[in-house]
Structure 1
Amino acid sequence: MGFDIEGLDEFKNAMIDLMKVKFPEELEREIYNLANRIWVKVKKRTPVGVYKNGHSGGDLRKNWQIGNLVREGNGYYIEVFNILDYASHVEYGHRTRLGKTDHPHTYKKRGTIDFVPGKYMLKISVEELNKELPGYLSSWLDNVIKEHGL
């Protein structure tokens, strides 16, 4: 059993537009908070290499960064990115030459091309945040409304 209240989504959108005009600092702070949530999620999902000599890597995990907030037209955007050149290979997957892999028992004969599947650590983190976003933004908006007596 449920019911619809017409205009609720429009009201929320109008409130966010009002936030852009009346309280831009709070909106920008919240955008940074959301970028930080993605940053934390993606760092946790980023694999760390373990080498044959027993040492472990971690450079890929350490090099996730949050860019500057950019206002463009009516909206904002911010980037979460990794500065290492091989980050996209780990994210999306890549082929290997000569069939070399980290697992010697799967080594293939010379000239074989194999594919290492991606980990999709950023994609999964963004999708996860998108699922949480409606409830998160609703509660944030409620707090702002109470705080400013709107």
Structure 2
Amino acid sequence: MKLTGVDSLIKKLEVDIDKKTENLLKKTGAYILKDVKMNTPVDTGRLKRSWKMNRELHQVTIYNNTKYAKHVEYGHRTRGSAKNLRYSPQTRTFSSNARRVVPGRHMLRNSVKRGKLFLSKEMAEIKIFGGD
């Protein structure tokens, strides 16, 4: 018995899987980008407008080039101002009660978590990696 056309069938399946994978990456990247924009806090709107997506072969990158994006994502400390300085004559030191920690908003981290759930649901629907 001789089978013919197996090589062409394998190539066709590889191309089909590559197309499905790239489409799935594009959909997941767009989902994460939309989600991170929705969950970004707005003061001037610059941070929200600066979210971008870059797509290459088998890779999607979500990024923000504003200088303060990491401070909003992860949190930061404030130093306080000279207005809040107090002098203690007993200890001969200055102290400030204005120092505080501003917690991070984690908009990208949370969006990536939701994106992973979206990706697993989509993969189950199209049965790419190990479906019945």
Give the structure-1-normalised TM-score: 0.62
**Paired residues of 1:39 and 1:80 also in contact (CA < 8 A):** yes
Aligned 1:48-87 pairs, distance under 5 A: 48-49=42-43, 57-70=44-57, 76-87=58-69
Partner amino acid, structure 2, of 1:88? K
Partners of 2:77 and 2:126 in 1: how far apart?
44
Indicate how the Cα distance of structure 1 residues 86 and 42 shifts in structure 2: closer, same or farther if over 3 A, else same.
Answer: same
Aligned length: 107
Q: Which residue of 2 aligns with 1:35?
A: 29
**Structure with greater strand share of residues:** 2
Partners of 1:41 and 1:141 in 2: how far apart?
25
Unaligned runs of 5+ in 1: 1-17, 50-56, 71-75, 101-107, 146-150
Query: Following TM superposition, by how much is the alpha carbon of 1:32 offset from its aligned partner in structure 2, in angstroms?
Result: 1.1
Unaligned runs of 5+ in 2: 1-10, 86-95
1:22 aligns with 2:15: yes
Q: Which has the larger radius of gyration?
A: 2
1:141 aligns with 2:123: no
Aligned 1:95-114 pairs, distance under 5 A: 95-98=77-80, 109-110=84-85, 111=96, 112-114=98-100
- Identical counterparts, % of pairs: 29
For the residue of structure 2 that corresponds to 1:27, the secondary structure is helix
**Paired residues of 2:28 and 2:118 also in contact (CA < 8 A):** no
Query: Following TM superposition, by how much is the alpha carbon of 1:137 offset from its aligned partner in structure 2, in angstroms?
Result: 1.2
Partner amino acid, structure 2, of 1:109? N
Higher relative contact order (CA 8 A, sep 6+): 2
Partners of 1:138 and 1:59 in 2: how far apart?
37
List, as ranges, runs of 4+ consecutive aligned residues in structure 1 with deviation greater than 6 Å: none
Partner amino acid, structure 1, of 2:29? A
**Paired residues of 2:24 and 2:119 also in contact (CA < 8 A):** no
